Structure 1
Amino acid sequence: MRHSTCVSQALAWAVALQAGSLAAQSMVEEDELSMAFGDRSTISIVTGRPQPLRRAPAVATVITAADMAAMGAVDLDEALEAVPGMHVSRSVQAYAPQYLIRGIHSDFNAQTLVLQNGVPMTTLFFGNRGNVWYGQPVENIARLEVIRGPGSALYGADAYAGVINIVTKTAAETPGIELGARAGSFRSRDGWMQYGGKLGELDVAAYLRVGRTEGWRRTVAADAQTLLDSLFGTRASLAPGPVNTFYDALDGSLDLARGKLRLRAGYKLRDNGGVGPGVASALDPVGRARTVRATTDLSWSDVEIAKHWRADFSASTLYHTQQFPQPLQLFPPGAFGGAFPNGMFGAPNLWERHVRLSAVATYAGFIHHQLRLGAGHDDLDLYRTQELKNFSFISSGPFAGLPTPTPGAAVIEFPVADSFLAPQRRRLSYFYAQDEWSFARDWTLTAGVRHDQFSDFGGTTNPRVALVWDARLDLTAKLLYGRAFRAPSFIELYSINNPVNRGNPNLRPETIETLEAALAWHARPDTRVNLSLFRYDMGQIIRLSEASLFNNTGSQRGRGAEVEVNWDASRAWRIAGHYALQRSIDTASGRDAGHAPHHHLFIRSDGRFAGGWLLGAQVNHVAGRRRAAGDARPAIRDYTTLDMTLRSGRSSLGWEVTASVRNLFNADVREPSLAPGLSIPNDLPMAPRSFYLQTMYRP
């Protein structure tokens, strides 16, 4: 009996060792293939160079174009909901997306940095991507790289809660020509063309997309004017009434490469856009928004400048404008006790121009070290503002702060000095150093620090340290510390002539310190498990004081865990999912910071069947969203959605067809409106069940 037990134990150990050996062998092969070809197991934004994801000194996720196609995602926001620890919420400002990472929420979501091919997409006024967003199509996206946690030691301002890098397709990733068309619910239709190939010695990738949607028209039962009606004894509110989420879209890009030189250019136009529930939280059936974003990016990469030294150089430009060709109806006819018989209108228009220069040098002459030095200069210019409106504000007396109409309540252009903001310019110079030190077998220490010097509020220095241990061939452990900052936006620094939010030029950056521990376990050749634990402390949070002046008055602490599992059940069936748990506390009130989910569960299953058909399904469960301090409403309702996608294999004639349904069971999905909840008390209604049919042709 004893001998039998020993034999059984020996056999068990042998099986375990063989499984571990197979997992390890699979991992080594996977790393080699990833470094050669690039896939979801490789990431470049963590240290600035490609490396295996599981060894990267950060908690990160990669979503490939194949992943996005399998999940039926047609927009960036749909793909990002699949990132552990991230939830895509919405703002009342034209339903602009808010990428909430680990419970960090704010009015404009300026704490999440979005890059495109490594270049910030940040605009100056709100400090985010712009409030007139209206979607980002995924057809031209090769991969998404997401860091959860601070990234200011490498990327500077606003790499605070996390970093999202959108990597667009090159000629190698779009061989030949692709034509596509899509139509679906809400009278949505899109058409696009992509091409990748050679023009002489140039590698060329081109993309053009035209789209339009009438958007969903879910009903808002009560709005800000409903509250004003109760105060003035009027009935001016348009609620109950629908939100407006329609827009026209034009996207284009060109990628030219020759050797180590690459030139990218992009254009994004959103026109005739509805403004959701209204930018003042009062329904607006007439306001229309227009935004243009034009970018260029020139890079010269991997240049040998001396023995052991290699360098990268880049220059980029961004032109961005936000306009309201049809002024926003801030409040409807009859607002403010009849003071505005035709409605209260405004159009805060702005134009920005950014120029960024950077250089990075890598030194590999030290044994076991990879030294990276970088420097750059940004010239960020909000060079023009314009405000058209039919009101001003009473400046003194018992009615100070209330709007008063212009003569005849006519919409007129106000002088810049009397508008919402005067033109402003920001210059930024920075330098950073980073060392990857393999100080022992299976141990790597990455340490970096970056100093940013701003022309308008001074300097800030932010370090990070990451210790990575390959405990076994199938198990990697990480311990991470980082500090990051968010730069004050121009609305926070320089807003004028607005009694409800006044700028404060003495603001300091928001700060955060984060400590993380993570495990990446290749449990079996077909199974990967990732676990991360985190805690953070935020300070100098910029909030409005009782005097409606922006001040560094807030602080917040948070903690949580994220677990992610990927199981290749067979060659034709894959299951992936994650669960995120977080709790964030506003330290001043001792209450939940609000808005972000405490629990987020996402499960996805993809199966391939006879004839090359692919059936995908995904469940998204969002729960435990609390109200912020001062908001007495009940907790935001939980929801669960189910999406399904059926995609054909590519036929011999080059055709591929996709059919998808989102929110199959028509769940009542709502995202939180802001505290105290008197403006839109029943929160922001999201899209009901929707369908689309897509076809693509690649000869």
Structure 2
Amino acid sequence: MRKRPVSHVDAPLLPTVISVALAALTPLYANAADTLADLALEDLLRVTISSASRFEQPTTEAPASVTVINEEELRQHGYRTLAQALSTAPGVYTSSDRSYTYLGVRGFNRPGDYGTRILLLTDGARRNDPLYDQVLFGNESPIELDWVKRLEFVSGPASALYGANALFGTANAVMLNGGDINGARISVDAASFNTRRLGVVAGQRLEGDRDWFMGLASYRSGGENLYINAYDNGTSNGQARGLDGEKYNKLYGKYRWGNWRLSGNYSWREKGDPTANFGTTFGSPGTNQADENRLFELRYDGDTDRSWQPSFRLYHGNYRYSGHYAYAGSPNSRDVAQADWTGTEFRLAYTGFNRHNLLLGVESQWNQQLLQRYFELAPYNSILDTNNPSRTYSFYLQDEWRFHPDWLLNVGVRHDKHNQFSGVTSPRLALIWQTTNRLTLRAVTGSAYRFPNVFERFYSDNGASQAANPALQSEYIQTHEVSAAYRFGQAGRVGMSLYDNQIHRLIDQTTTTGDITTYLNQRRVEARGIELDGENRWSNGLRLRGSVAWQHSQSEDGSSLVDSPRRMGKLIASLPVAGNWTSSGEVLTLSGRQGINGPVPGYGLVNLSLLSPPDKRYGQVMLSVYNLGNRHYADPAPSSMTQTWVEQPGRQIRLRWTLAL
């Protein structure tokens, strides 16, 4: 598109031990609970997911390893962004450069990658833009967690259903309906760093099978004052004050009548950059980045008459980016990017064949404008001005075949044709064995791909920092995974997944002669690992969820990848306390990582939240403390920065008041 010394924590032991103990010991505690308050085993088996196969199915029948974060957890734990919630899933971690938040999955999070290998959906609608292919997971995301009813994360490739970008994982935010609200509620936040936020959600289910929902949010933050050691050099004292501010406005709405649904989303976010990114002047104002998103969708979901159900959608989106860069002794410059796209999709689900669930679909998207401009101001000097519109056409087919009462075979294939590249065919095969009503075994193999995007192929600033490479080829991944899940007691589960991912023709940002970066196709990269996870819920209201992961990613020459931790451990818990209050928290640990400019230490973080019971007159109060121990921790810095790492926020306190109207 800083710092006090960071405390070194390499694979923190205590949370890892706790997470392992959760998976190993919860069956013992489950037997101690006579009854579960509100969730029996049969209900647990009916927990569904819609993004793994494009239709609702139990998680036990999904053709992938899945994590479902329900509305209760989303509200109780005080998660502020999609990234914070998803970072509790097995094998998932985050990185931030103080402008954007990036999601790493199973040891893979490349520098210069704007989330291009993860697919984000809202109610099944694609949110990756066609210019950067990026996914926005932090405050820059076009949606708010207050609008989300359920968050699904599907690990592994899903190009067999969704096409490009679904290489390492697919995140689907299932949005609230008006009937989930039947009224309105307002929330007001006050937090550290002079942060404040106002949010409103409203909705109603109406007669005649109609329903409407609306959500809006406005946010302002002064940000932190930072010390960056790399700039404490005699010329500058390393202090970046008043440069980390952020603000956004977001709006989402949908209206459903019968089988039809119309939805729209708008968001705008501006973020100051205190890191002297891209060689800008350290400690001086004027460097910031802004993102603007719009997406409108008209959708029809037919009835299931005569065992078949048609579905149709028409959508239009646009994305705007504006980057302002302040340089000393030379003209300030600006980046401008614009993307406009329109698409349509038709799919047909058919269950008329005995023991088969067929899905057939066609999709096309026209990217009318994919524009990039880079120019200097005072005097004006145009350096880059390109527009590279494109088109894609796709066809996909999936069959879920229950050939035996205990066996399920899921076969999917999709062919995508980009008008500037050769066609790509992506298969996926999953074999699921429900050995008992408690034990499920799963084997999955498949491939996924990504076309090089316009930014990677054509962006150039005339040799100052980045060169174009129009000859880039598509990259693709081949994956193999086996997993097992065992359900115990009334609401307990333990699981294990082993995976091997091989990425071919990896599109990677590489530094060439003269410190100029460009995107090149590498030969082969491999990522393999094991994940253990478990969860349980007791009759007294205690809920525990935890995981540990070991993973290793390396290039063909044997070198380890940057920003690829070897180990991570997580524990997520909530417990009712006195006066019907609820306490919730997370312990998140990550081992050290290699950065572009040097090693970055690991860390362990603790977040805590306390939620009051709702009151009709006075509302509900939540107090959250993030980074409770005020740990100094950091993420690897990108190649466009001088420093080795980017310091992350210290202890933060947030008070939220919510009132139902």
TM-score by length of 1: 0.84
What is the aligned partner in structure 1 of residue 17 from structure 2?
none
Q: Residues 411 and 522 (structure 1 numbering): CA distance in 2 closer, same or farther, change over 3 Å?
A: farther
Task: Could you tell me which runs of 5 or more consecutive residues in structure 1 were left unpaired when the two chains were aligned.
Answer: 1-14, 35-40, 230-234, 334-339, 391-409
Question: One-letter code of the match for 1:278?
Answer: A
**Structure with more relative contact order (C-alpha pairs < 8 Å, separation 6 or more):** 2
Judging changes above 3 Å, is the alpha-carbon distance between structure 1 residues 74 and 674 closer, same or farther for their aligned structure 2 residues?
closer
Which range moved further: 129-138 or 359-368?
A: 129-138
Structure 2 residue 563 is matched with structure 1 residue 595: yes
Q: Deviations over 1:158-195 (max 9, x none)?
A: 10111111222111222211111110101111111111
Give 1:605's aligned amino acid.
Answer: A
Counterpart of 1:4? none
What amino acid sits opposite 2:212 in the alignment? V
Separation in 2, partners of 1:78, 1:545:
31
**Conserved 8 A contact 1:178-1:698:** yes
Matches within 5 A, 1:172-251: 172-198=179-205, 201=208, 202-222=210-230, 239-241=238-240, 244-251=243-250
In 1, the alpha carbon distance for the partners of 2:619 and 2:256 equals: 29
Aligned 8 A contact 2:82 2:138 in 1: no
Deviations 1:607-643 (A, max 9, x none): 1124320011221111132346xx5x3x311111111
Partners of 1:387 and 1:436 in 2: how far apart?
49
Q: Say whether the 8 Å CA contact 2:70–2:149 is kept in structure 1.
A: yes
Q: 1:627/1:587 Cα in 2 relative to 1: closer, same or farther (>3 Å)?
A: farther
Partner of 1:134: 140
Q: Is the 8 A contact 2:487 2:494 kept in 1?
A: yes
Structure 2 equivalent of residue 328 of structure 1 = 325
Tell me, yes or no, if the aligned pair for 2:225 and 2:243 is still in contact at 8 Å.
Answer: yes
Q: Alpha carbon RMSD of aligned pairs, Å?
A: 2.5
1:281 to 1:50, Cα distance in 2 relative to 1, 3 A: farther
Any conservation in 1 of the 2:619–2:659 contact (CA below 8 Å)? yes
Q: What's the counterpart of residue 507 of structure 2?
A: 542
Could you tell me which residue of structure 2 aligns to residue 296 of structure 1? 296
Aligned to 1:12: none
| Aligned equivalent of 1:56, options 59, 62, 66 | 62
CA distance in 2, matches of 1:602, 1:167: 24
Residue 523 (structure 1) aligned with residue 467 (structure 2): no
Moved more, 495-504 or 166-175: 495-504
Query: In 2, distance between residues paired with 1:221 and 1:88?
Result: 23
Does residue 41 of structure 2 align to residue 27 of structure 1?
yes
Point out the more displaced range, 448-457 or 518-527.
518-527
Q: Deviations over 1:5-39 (max 9, x none)?
A: xxxxxxxxxx9xx99xx99x9433434xx4xxxxx
For the 8 Å contact 2:81–2:138, the answer to whether it is kept is: no
C-alpha distance 130-384 of structure 1, shift in aligned 2 (>3 A) = farther
- Aligned pair partner of 1:684 in 614, 621, 646: 646
Which of the numbers 382, 403, 421 marks the counterpart of 1:457? Answer: 421
504-513 or 658-667, which moves further after superposition? 504-513
Q: CA deviation at 1:545?
A: 6.7
Instruction: Name which of structure 1's ranges 114-123 and 558-567 shifts more when overlaid on structure 2.
Output: 114-123
- For 1:61-100, what aligned pairs fall within 5 Å after superposition? 61-91=67-97, 94-100=98-104
> Are 1:45 and 2:45 an aligned pair?
no
Identity within the alignment, %: 24
Determine the structure 2 residue equivalent to 1:476: 440
Structure 1 segment 496-515 matched on structure 2, within 5 A = 496-499=460-463, 500-515=465-480
Structure 1 pair 654/465, CA: closer, same or farther in 2 (3 Å)?
farther
Residue pairs, 1:201-600, within 5 angstroms: 201=208, 202-222=210-230, 239-241=238-240, 244-271=243-270, 273-280=271-278, 282=280, 283=282, 285-304=285-304, 307-324=306-323, 327-329=324-326, 331=327, 333=328, 340=329, 343-390=330-377, 410-414=378-382, 418-419=383-384, 421-499=385-463, 500-543=465-508, 544=510, 546=512, 549-588=518-557, 590-600=558-568
Report the secondary structure of 1:69's partner residue: helix
Question: Distance in 2 between the 1:276 and 1:126 partners?
Answer: 23
Go from structure 1 to structure 2 and tell me whether the alpha carbon gap of 1:132 and 1:170 turns closer, same or farther (over 3 Å shift): closer
Determine the C-alpha separation between the residues in 1 that align with 2:173 and 2:331.
39
- Structure 1 or 2, whichever has the larger Rg, is 1
Preserved contact between residue 355 and residue 378 of structure 1 (Cα < 8 Å): yes
Does residue 144 (structure 1) correspond to residue 151 (structure 2)? The answer is yes
Are 1:113 and 2:81 matched, yes or no? no
How many pairs were matched up?
A: 618
Between 1:590-599 and 1:128-137, the stretch displaced more is 128-137
Residue 302 of structure 2 aligns to a residue in which SS? strand
Which SS does the other structure have where 2:444 is aligned? strand
C-alpha separation between the residues in 1 aligned to 2:311 and 2:148? 23
Shift of 1:488: 0.4
For residues 100-156 of structure 1, what are the alpha-carbon distances to aligned partners after superposition, in whole Å with 9 as ceiling and x for unaligned? 001112222311111222222222332213699635531111111111111110110
Q: Could you say what secondary structure the match of 1:221 adopts?
A: strand
User: The residue matched to 1:570 in structure 2 has which SS?
Assistant: coil
Q: Which amino acid aligns with 1:296?
A: F
CA distance in 2, matches of 1:523, 1:145: 22
Q: Distance in 2 between matches of 1:291 and 1:652?
A: 38
Kept in 1: contact 2:290–2:322 (CA 8 A): yes
Q: Does the CA contact (< 8 Å) of 1:185 and 1:692 recur in 2?
A: yes
Deviation at 1:671, TM superposition (A): 0.3
8 Å contact 1:126–1:491 — kept in the other structure? yes
2:372·2:459 contact (CA, 8 Å) conserved in 1?
no
1:95 CA displacement: 2.6
Aligned to 1:612: 580
Alpha-carbon offset, residue 679 of structure 1: 3.8
Tell me by how many angstroms 1:584 deviates: 0.5
User: Hey, what's the Cα distance between the residues in 2 that align with 1:497 and 1:249?
Assistant: 28
TM-score, normalization by structure 2 = 0.88
Instruction: Give deviations 1:413-434, integer Å, cap 9, x for gaps.
Output: 52xxx41x40111100000111
Q: Matched residue of 2:386: which SS?
A: coil
Q: CA deviation at 1:694?
A: 0.5
| Shift of residue 200, structure 1, vs aligned partner | 5.9
AA matched with 2:224: W
What is the Cα deviation at residue 497 of structure 1? 4.5
